[in-house]
Amino acid sequence: MSTITFKEIAEIHHDALPVQRKVLEELFPKVFHDWRTITTLDDALRYHGLTESEVEVKVNNAPDGYQERLQTTIYLDLICDAIRGNDAPIDYSNSDQKKWCPWFQYGAAAGGFGFQRTNYHYAFTRTRVGARRSFLSEEKARFFGETFIDLINKELIA
């Protein structure tokens, strides 16, 4: 049995009739994924084929006081993965590959952290937000930082 690659699926999609394209998009949603559609936690969970209750079950055995924090961290990781979509893997041993991460600044008047800017890092592996929260484009890092600031605040302040 032979397998078909994502690239081959995309090539077939390019030459297909509209009805055939729709079928391919339904069969292979991750191949034709538009990361800009991940604007809520539900969108990210749907991308991964999960529900909130399935994530809750996974954190129920954590020690008291850690469940909510762990659940928020898992949600943010799932959101990052959904926004990255089909990007090439982030290679922290490759200093030529730029890795963008959102940068936040705490504001007491605002009651939490606010998105400030994006930075990229390439010649070193140091990051203030953790390697899991890096992106290969500034646009995706900014989108994540601005769109999910409430959930990010929940994790940073918890």
In this predicted model, what pLDDT tens digit does every residue of 111-156 receive, in sequence order?
Answer: 555 555 555 544 444 444 456 788 999 999 999 999 998 998 888 8
Break the chain into its structural domains and give their ranges: 1-32, 33-157
Three-state secondary structure of 76-89: HHHHHHHHHCCCCC
Amino acid, single-letter form, for residue 36: R
Can you spell out the DSSP letters for 140-158?
Answer: HHHHHHHHTHHHHHHHHH-
Q: What are phi and psi of 16, to 5 degrees?
A: -85, 160
Q: Is the pTM of this model over 0.85?
A: no
Three-state secondary structure of 17-30: CHHHHHHHHHHCCC
pLDDT tens digits, one per residue of 60-95 = 989 988 999 999 999 999 999 999 987 878 888 888
